[in-house]
Structure 1
């Protein structure tokens, strides 16, 4: 989790309100954005076709550069573009700061691949989970990891759980005031040649209220390949992952529509690292 990130509480609250107001719109308005094409600039769905959605509605859209994408965003509710746009810009600023710190921690230097990160993609996944009903399944989103380098997650209430790798058990992410959750993604694991592990997480339905979450996922540009940093590869630490791009990830999703257990990161591992 990150605090002192510089995003005002009002910007965060307004983004959650914009999301909540969108999901309260009549179905026919929301379904104008419905699509099974993962490459659509804006996509709305309520189904589990993606293999991990158990009980959620979501709106996904690109956000960087904002001037290129905001024209495709919903015009209803009227506050959506303004409020979500302000939050998107701020979330990206925080993500780039954190990425610099992580790269420095890996010994690569904070300017490492700076241009590719600056020109990279930002995908907002705006989610609405219903209030849990008695006797029904409590899983809103099945266990998964995010494809990119880093995800900044804003949530309206409790419901996020992450895997504690030391005990292989689920831990509830606490809801701290003015804090944001930070998930390291598949491509950060690849870039670090396995020194950093992707965060496996899931969403549970909250028994007291519907839950809004806004995931800001940060990666390279669509066709830009991510590979293990050559500085972190040697005889003792051979390359553990194949190179891939965001576009490859979308192809992987499309090709595995019926496979509920598909795992993008697993598909990137070399034979030696799979056996570990």
Structure 2
């Protein structure tokens, strides 16, 4: 399994901009206030999805202790001896992993899948399970737990090549800076600021399909941190395996015909299997009409 559906050839990368990107920050706590403030928050989320494809959320209701415990469980897993981790596929065997080790597992319904999660370290299932339950709302959920080494002098600095995610939304928890996104206004890579207790949210390919192109998937990558190794936990959300995603009928008319074919997560997996040797495979492009 891979979260990658849109990859960008390295030779086509825009130049880096060392200045951090000022992200829209959405205070989800305001959703519980009066209707005018709630409406403003909803409008801010919609604007961020249309204009940028990403934003950060604060006051999201997930305790810092649950987030810290999930990062601790992930870090402890990747510190296990190689022979212990051999039971799980933690190697970089996809077209976008440059320096990362990763572990991917389904997380919803949690009771159906947690038995297949690592049983070592002992805290893994408990701590990661609590975080998975807190960050999920509905549909399917795939956790991609990633470990990036500390950047070494002379080594490549890219830990995960440019790509977009297949689902509707990805909610990302990271232990330190390293995430970059392409800023649409300049087509330049921008570093994402690491705000305390914030979660990064970005739009996936199926949200672009559902919105009939009004919302755009975001291309992002991971850089190695020169100061420390980095843990990231991406919670990728979408419909169930065989549920079809198509352009919302409310957004289709004579002037705006459907721009994408319908597809499911199962179709995405089939596409990856059929294109394993093609590093420029692009699921979203295969859906365009």
Indicate the TM-score class for this superposition, using the shorter chain for normalisation: 0.7 to 0.9
**CA deviation vs aligned residue, 1:19-59 (integer Å, no higher than 9, x gap):** 000000011111111xxxxxxxxxx2322x31000110000
Structure 1 CA distance, aligned partners of 2:268 and 2:260?
A: 14
1:81 — aligned with what? 125
Q: Which residue of 2 aligns with 1:63?
A: 107
What does residue 30 of structure 1 align with?
A: 85
Work out the CA distance in 2 between the residues paired with 1:170 and 1:89. 32
1:221 aligns with one of 236, 240, 256: 240
1:1-276 superposed matches below 5 A: 1-33=56-88, 44-47=89-92, 49-93=93-137, 118=138, 120-270=139-289
Alpha-carbon separation, structure 1, partners of 2:94 and 2:107: 21
Q: Secondary structure at the match of 1:145?
A: strand
Mark the runs of 5 or more structure 2 residues left unpaired by the alignment.
Answer: 1-55
Unpaired segments of 5 or more residues in structure 1?
A: 34-43, 94-117, 271-276
Q: Distance in 2 between matches of 1:172 and 1:155?
A: 13
Between the aligned partners of 1:28 and 1:256, the Cα distance in structure 2 is 30
Aligned partners of 2:264 and 2:115: how far apart in 1? 25
Name the structure 2 match of 1:41. none
Distance 1:154 1:267 in 2: 30
SS in 1 for 2:136: helix
Alpha-carbon offset, residue 165 of structure 1: 0.9
Quote the Cα distance in structure 1 between the aligned partners of 2:189 and 2:257: 31
Greater RCO between the two (CA within 8 Å, min separation 6)?
Answer: 2
Distance 2:150 2:280 in 1: 26
Q: 1:86 and 1:224 mapped to 2: Cα distance? A: 26
Give yes or no for contact 1:46–1:55 (8 Å, CA) kept in 2. Answer: no
More strand by share: 2
Determine the C-alpha separation between the residues in 2 that align with 1:72 and 1:260.
29
Task: Provide the secondary structure at the position in 2 that maps to 1:60.
Answer: strand
Shift of 1:263: 1.2
- C-alpha distance in 2 between matches for 1:259 and 1:170: 24
Aligned-pair RMSD on alpha carbons? 0.7
- Cα deviations by residue, 1:183-238 (Å, 9 ceiling, x for unpaired): 11000000000000011100000001000000000010001110000110111111
Distance 1:136 1:235 in 2: 53
Q: In the alignment, which residue of structure 1 is the partner of 2:52?
A: none
